Amino acid sequence: MAGSIGIFDSGYGGLTVLREIRQLMPEYDYLYLGDNARAPYGTRSFEVVYQFTLQAVRRLFDMGCPLVVLACNTASAKALRTIQQRDLPLIDPSRRVLGVIRPTAECIGNITQTRHIGIFATPGTIRSQTYDIEIGKLFPDIRVTGQACPMWVPLIENGEYNSDGADYFVKKNIDQLLTQDPDIDAIILGCTHYPLLFDKIRKHTPSHIHLISQGEYVAKSLADYFRRHPDMQARITQQGTIRFLTTEHPTSFNESATAFLDHPVTAEHIHL
Ligand code: DGL
Q: Which amino acid is at 100?
A: V
Which residue's alpha carbon is at the smallest distance from atom 9 of ligand 1? 42
Tens-digit pLDDT profile for residues 216-231: 999 999 999 999 999 9
Please list the residues that pair with 212 across neighbouring strands.
Answer: 188
Could you tell me the pTM of the whole model? 0.94
Q: Would the CATH topology of 5-99+216-269 be identical to that of 102-213?
A: yes
First to last CA, the chain: 23
* 153 touches 122 (CB < 8 A): yes
Is a pLDDT exceeding 90 seen at residue 187? yes
CATH 3.40.50.1860 is right for the domain spanning 5-99+216-269: yes
Among 7, 8, 10, 149, which residue has the most ligand 1 atoms within 8 Å of its CB, making it the best to mutate?
10
- Average pLDDT (194-218) is 96
User: What's the 126 CA to ligand 1 centre distance in angstroms?
Assistant: 12
Whether 65 is a known active-site residue: answer no
Query: How far is the C-alpha of 80 from the C-alpha of 58, rounded, in Å?
Result: 13
How is the chain split into domains, by residue range?
Answer: 5-99+216-269, 102-213
Tens-digit pLDDT profile for residues 19-65: 999 999 999 999 999 999 999 998 899 999 999 999 999 999 999 99
8-state DSSP, 62: H
User: What's the 121 CA to ligand 1 centre distance in angstroms?
Assistant: 8
Query: How far is the C-alpha of 222 from the C-alpha of 98, rounded, in Å?
Result: 9
CATH architecture of the domain formed by 102-213:
3-Layer(aba) Sandwich (3.40)
pLDDT attached to residue 49: 96
Q: Select from 149, 147, 71, 127 the least CA-distant residue to 104.
A: 71
E strands, the chain, are 5-9, 30-34, 67-70, 96-98, 116-121, 143-148, 186-189, 210-213, 242-246, 267-269
* 77 touches 101 (CB < 8 A): yes
